[in-house]
Amino acid sequence: MYPLNPEEDDFLVPGHRRNQNFGERLRQFHNEFDSSIRAILRDCLFREVNEQNTLTLQILCPNQAVQKRLIQKRQKIGNEIRWIWSENVDQFALCVDKEGLQCRVFSLKNYLID
């Protein structure tokens, strides 16, 4: 898991996204949101998980309130992931650790998996 520290680098130009590493993509992802969502994302952890040839971007939320707020923004989150990770990520998951990892998974192709 990687914490998001958006202040480390300047905003990245979209044309350079193919050569970006994971941290650069996270900073770009973070910068696409308004300040209220950026504040929420700052408390989250991120990782890429590859299971059965399906790459998932997992966003680990610090609590259920944050998870619910991000679920409300799932369309915007999905659009930004499609744009930044277009060649890789098949789905994203908003997760919270409550007696084990509990995730809401959203397909970037079919929208919602649940």
The pLDDT tens digits of the residues spanning 49-88 come to 999 888 999 999 999 999 999 999 999 999 999 888 876 7
Q: Mean per-residue pLDDT for 5-11?
A: 46
**Model confidence band, residue 18 (pLDDT cutoffs 50, 70, 90):** low
Distances (CA, A) of 91 to 36, 38, 50, 108, 112: 24, 21, 10, 5, 9
**Model confidence band, residue 22 (pLDDT cutoffs 50, 70, 90):** confident
**Model confidence band, residue 114 (pLDDT cutoffs 50, 70, 90):** very low
Q: Which two tokens stand for residue 68?
A: 């619910």
Q: How far apart are CA 61 and CA 109, in angstroms?
A: 23
Single pTM value for the model: 0.77
Instruction: Determine the pLDDT at residue 75.
Output: 92
**Model confidence band, residue 23 (pLDDT cutoffs 50, 70, 90):** confident
